[in-house]
């Protein structure tokens, strides 16, 4: 932070008796303007009634994760949000196994992940028939997914119709659009 920003932060903290920097990224503040409300409503409509893979892209720090968190909070009575980051590095586990764990499904370590994903889709559909609530599977930082996992998600959840119990939202940087487009051209 430059001297001007620092002095503005300090001035605001003193004038408004704030205990933290009002411009800190760690505050996780969501400013609801007209455009953001429209974005939330569009996401709600597509999550509840859509039959396509949803892509939420933007540069790092644009507010994608914050939008997803706000969506989950506001629309939890209407839709179940299963959200996690694709992860990276040596501690990364297969995202399908992570999703199964988040969804309360026990899996055999030897079971093929495609079968695990089929179980998840079946569970989500069964739950949907009972409750009327779809599951929005949100994979944040989805550009980090290995190709085989991305392909499984697109082939399984991404090919479901609007009457299914789940919809897939992939969130990440703009290059994610090109990765997803690669799979739509395959037979």
- Tens of pLDDT, residue by residue over 95-126, are 898 899 999 998 887 899 999 999 999 999 99
Average confidence (pLDDT) over 10-27: 72
The pLDDT assigned to 32 comes to 67
Interacting residues of 174 by C-beta distance below 8 A, sequence separation 6+ = 57, 58, 59
CA distance 133 to 154: 21
pLDDT band at 175 (very low <50, low <70, confident <90, very high): very high
Average confidence (pLDDT) over 59-71: 88
Count other Cβ atoms within 10 Å, centred on residue 134.
25
pLDDT band at 4 (very low <50, low <70, confident <90, very high): very low
The pLDDT assigned to 24 comes to 62
The pLDDT assigned to 3 comes to 45
Task: Report residue 143 CA to chain centroid gap.
Answer: 12
Q: Look over the chain and give the mean of its residue pLDDT values, rounded to a whole number.
A: 85
Average confidence (pLDDT) over 53-59: 93
Interacting residues of 90 by C-beta distance below 8 A, sequence separation 6+ = none
pLDDT band at 171 (very low <50, low <70, confident <90, very high): very high
User: Between these two residues, 9 and 123, which has the higher pLDDT value?
Assistant: 123
CA dihedral of 70, 57, 138, 91, whole degrees rounded to 10 = -110
* Local structure of 92: helix, strand or coil: coil
The pLDDT assigned to 2 comes to 46
User: Between these two residues, 159 and 178, which has the higher pLDDT value?
Assistant: 178
């Amino acid at each position: 932070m430059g001297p001007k920003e620092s002095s503005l932060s300090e001035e605001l903290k003193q004038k408004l008796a704030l205990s933290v920097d009002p411009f800190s990224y760690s505050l996780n503040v969501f400013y609801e303007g007209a455009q953001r409300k429209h974005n939330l409503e569009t996401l709600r409509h597509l999550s509840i009634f859509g039959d396509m893979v949803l892509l939420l892209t933007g540069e790092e720090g644009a507010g994608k994760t914050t939008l997803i968190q706000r969506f989950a909070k506001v629309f939890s009575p209407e839709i179940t949000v299963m959200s996690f980051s694709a992860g990276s590095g040596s501690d990364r586990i297969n995202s399908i196994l992570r999703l199964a764990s988040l969804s309360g499904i026990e899996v055999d370590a030897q079971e093929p992940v495609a079968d695990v994903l089929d179980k998840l889709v079946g569970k989500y559909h069964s739950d949907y028939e009972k409750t009327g609530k779809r599951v929005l599977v949100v994979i944040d930082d989805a550009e980090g997914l290995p190709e085989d996992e991305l392909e499984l998600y697109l082939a399984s959840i991404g090919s479901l119709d609007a009457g299914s119990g789940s919809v897939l939202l992939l969130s990440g940087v703009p290059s994610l659009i090109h990765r997803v487009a690669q799979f739509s051209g395959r037979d």
